[in-house]
Amino acid sequence: MSDLIIRPATLEDTGLFLRLVEELAVYERMAPPNAEAKARLIEDLFGPKPFYQLILAIKAGRPVGYAAYFYTYSTFVGRRTLYLEDLFVLPEARGDGAGHRLLVTIARVALAEGCGRLDLIVLRWNELAHKFYEKHGVKRMEEWALYRLAGEEIAKVAAMPDA
């Protein structure tokens, strides 16, 4: 683990990051981002108004994982919430401490930024991730259900009459 470095991503890391995102898509059984989505990922990370932040896990000079996060707000706590969008480590690098170090780094960011919460979502079938987070004391919120509008569904709701 001594040769493991956790650091913020730079513009020079673009290709490395996009390859890791593609690996995550394979792991999560999802379609990888298309060319336009990849361009937005980079613009939204390094453009004039960044929407999220990214840290990389580098082992022996090679990227083995990343964590992408952004901030939301809790009206109940009256503080920002750090939302962990992705924490991904290449399968062949798991068990070497990269995931642990990424999560610890994210928790330290949340603490330093005065966040009242650190939230994330795990796919139901991903037992490896459930065990990882629970081992770190992350609690499963059984009473909350995720709802989503995507693509044309957003447009349909936006087109509904006001009342």
Please give the full DSSP string across 75-126, using - where no structure is assigned.
TTTTEEEEEEEEEEE-GGGTTSSHHHHHHHHHHHHHHHTT-SEEEE---TT-
CB 81 within 8 A of CB 88: no
Catalytic residue, chosen from 27, 71, 133, 147, is: 133
CB 59 within 8 A of CB 4: yes
Dihedral in degrees, nearest 10, Cα atoms 58, 67, 65, 37: -110
Residue 72 and residue 110: Cα distance in Å, rounded? 12
User: Would residue 71 show up in a list of annotated catalytic residues for this protein?
Assistant: no
Residue 1 and residue 12: Cα distance in Å, rounded? 24
Residue 103 and residue 134: Cα distance in Å, rounded? 12
**What residues act catalytically?**
133
